[in-house]
């Protein structure tokens, strides 16, 4: 608390509450580093007026790295945008929201919004705020479904994490701020969230499942398990993933696992085909977050059908080999389309265009 600027009373209050809540989290490590090389100094003239008593002002990106004991084999990595001010030769932290209007948001965790309680079950830890009528208060339905979901994942992907952290925010607004969403969350039930550590290339760390509470209300145990199996597949494959894996591959595989390869899961896509609106092309990444609920769901259905087509024709082992090969590409030149084409040819002998055409011909016959 001694590092907080004397005049920043509101920030001081927020930080005091935050530190008190963090005391309940079993951190194994916690570190803050200023990373001047990433963005430089982001100070703006408007801050000179706000901090008129400061001799100097600086806003670099501050990298937060932390490990939760028993959960994180590597530190999770988040960005904070602290405003540092120098007053009478001493530096202080004055605020962490001065760049919000530029959409450069400091990370927010579940413990930023209120106290956190922990529940545990075999291989799972759940954090939520003290129960006050929340969707998962007073029962272990979520953890039971998670255990069942992980058993399903192991049938399709051998390596699964020994511990998974599930975060249950109190509201959709909390979810939105935690994942810094720029799209409508009404169409989404849960998220597999990972941080990206850029200190040494591209490392995915800090894997979490974040539940969107309003979307879970009224769901039965089967639906809940399917959703969690989908998200747990994302968590399980994250170590093998990479920036050049298109969203349709990620989401199609996760749905394939969530629905346990059920061919009847494509009912919505079949209705689109009957209506004559199937366009015969693989969905682009942006189509999974932009559009109406039906349009977004259609992208998921097309992805599921594309992955099922791959696995039905070439087998699950070749799909896993294809996924790993594509995930190994980290900092190479080339576009996602280029590397997708290359790895399809290496794995199954045909490129993206032919794969798309043969998939579309098969799906059109549903």
Domain identity same for 93 and 118: no
Last residue of one domain, picked from the residues 210, 238, 266: 238
Q: Could you tell me the residue range of the domain that residue 133 belongs to?
A: 108-238
pTM recorded for the entire structure: 0.92
Neighbours of 44 (CB within 10 A): 14
Choose the final residue of a domain: 46, 72, 107.
107
Domain count, the chain: 3
Q: Among 49, 81, 107, which residue terminates a domain?
A: 107
Indicate whether 102 and 125 sit together in one domain.
no
Report if residue 320 sits inside a domain: yes
pLDDT digits (tens, 9 = 90+) for 73-122: 999 999 999 999 999 999 999 999 999 999 999 999 999 999 999 999 88
CA angle (108, 79, 76) in 5-degree steps = 80
Same domain, 53 and 114: no
The pLDDT, as a whole number, for residue 218 is 81
Do 112 and 88 belong to one domain? no
Contact 107, 88 (CB under 8 A): no
**What CATH number did the domain enclosing 135 receive?**
3.30.2010.30
Residues 245 and 351 in one domain: yes
Assess if residue 334 is contained within a domain: yes
Alpha helices in the chain (DSSP H): 9-22, 36-39, 45-50, 110-113, 141-153, 172-179, 213-216, 221-237, 247-258, 267-274, 293-314, 316-327, 336-348, 352-364
Average pLDDT over residues 223-231: 95
For the cut 80, the answer to whether the pLDDT of residue 9 exceeds it is yes
In whole numbers, what is the pLDDT of the chain averaged over residues? 93
Q: In 3D, which of 152, 145, 364 has the Cα closest to residue 266?
A: 364
Instruction: Residue 208: name the closest of 96, 66, 303 by CA.
Output: 66
Contact by Cβ (8 Å): 247, 303: yes
CA distance linking residue 340 with residue 247, whole number of Å = 11
Nearest Cα to Cα of residue 47 among 90, 13, 12, 81: 81
Give pLDDT tens digits for 296-350: 999 999 999 999 999 999 999 999 999 999 999 988 899 999 999 999 999 999 9
Residues 228 and 249 in one domain: no
Residue 119 located in a structural domain: yes
Same domain, 96 and 112: no
Nearest alpha-carbon partner for 203 in 362, 75, 60: 75
pLDDT number for residue 140: 76
| Rounded Cα–Cα distance for residues 157 and 178 (Å) | 28
For 249-295, write each residue's pLDDT tens digit: 999 999 999 999 998 888 888 888 878 778 889 999 999 999 999 99
- The mean pLDDT of 44-60, rounded to a whole number, is 94
Is residue 212 within 8 Å of residue 191, measured between CB atoms?
Answer: yes
Q: Are 55 and 146 contained in the same domain? A: no
Q: Note whether residue 299 is domain-resident.
A: yes
Residues whose CB is less than 8 angstroms from the CB of residue 314 and which lie 6 or more positions away in sequence, other chains included: 347, 348
What whole-number distance in Å separates Cα of residue 352 and Cα of residue 343? 9
The answer to whether residue 325 sits within a structural domain is: yes
CATH number of the domain to which 36 belongs: 3.10.450
Residues 103 and 114 in one domain: no
- The reply to whether 122 and 221 lie within a common domain is yes
Question: Residue 268: its pLDDT value, please?
Answer: 83
Inside any domain, residue 1: no
Q: Has residue 3 been placed in a domain?
A: no
Residue 279's pLDDT is 85
Indicate the pLDDT class of residue 179, thresholds 50, 70 and 90.
very high
Give the Cα separation of 126 and 137 in Å (integer).
11
* 240 vs 66: CA distance, rounded Å: 22
pLDDT at 27: 97
- 2 found inside a domain: no
Residues 205, 255: one domain? Answer: no
- Predicted confidence (pLDDT) at residue 132 exceeds the cutoff of 80: no
CB 328 within 8 A of CB 242: yes
| Residues 88 and 20 reside in one and the same domain | yes
């Amino acid at each position: 608390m001694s590092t907080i600027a004397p005049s920043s009373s509101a920030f001081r209050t927020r930080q005091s509450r935050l530190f008190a809540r963090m005391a309940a989290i079993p951190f194994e490590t916690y570190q803050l580093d200023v990373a001047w090389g990433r963005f430089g100094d982001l100070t703006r003239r408007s801050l000179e007026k706000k901090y008129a008593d400061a001799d100097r002002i600086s806003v670099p990106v501050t990298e937060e790295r932390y490990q939760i004991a028993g959960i994180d084999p590597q530190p999770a990595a988040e960005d904070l945008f602290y405003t540092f001010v120098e007053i009478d030769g001493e530096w202080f932290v004055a605020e962490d929201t001065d760049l919000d209007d530029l959409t450069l948001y400091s990370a927010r965790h579940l413990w930023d919004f209120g106290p956190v309680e922990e529940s545990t079950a075999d291989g799972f830890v759940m954090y939520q705020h003290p129960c006050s009528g929340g969707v998962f208060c007073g029962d272990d339905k979520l953890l039971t479904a998670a255990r069942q979901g992980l058993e399903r994942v192991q049938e399709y992907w051998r390596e699964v994490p020994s511990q998974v952290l599930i975060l249950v925010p109190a509201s959709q607004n909390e979810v939105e701020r935690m994942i810094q969403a720029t799209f409508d969350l009404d169409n989404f039930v849960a998220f597999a969230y990972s941080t990206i550590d850029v200190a040494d290339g591209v490392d995915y760390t800090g894997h979490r499942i974040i539940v969107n509470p309003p979307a879970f209300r009224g769901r039965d145990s089967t639906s809940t398990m399917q959703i969690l199996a989908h998200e747990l597949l994302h968590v399980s494959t994250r170590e093998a993933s990479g920036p050049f894996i298109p969203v349709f591959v990620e989401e199609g595989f996760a749905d394939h696992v969530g629905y346990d390869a059920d061919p009847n899961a494509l009912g919505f896509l079949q209705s689109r085909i009957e209506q004559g609106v199937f366009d015969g092309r693989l969905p682009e990444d942006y189509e999974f977050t932009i559009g109406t609920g039906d349009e977004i769901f259609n992208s998921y259905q097309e992805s599921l059908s594309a992955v099922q087509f791959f696995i039905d024709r070439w087998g699950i082992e070749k799909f896993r080999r294809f996924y790993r090969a594509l995930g190994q590409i980290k900092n190479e030149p080339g576009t996602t389309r280029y590397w997708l084409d290359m790895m399809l040819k290496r794995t199954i002998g045909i490129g993206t265009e032919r794969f798309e055409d043969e998939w579309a011909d098969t799906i059109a016959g549903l």
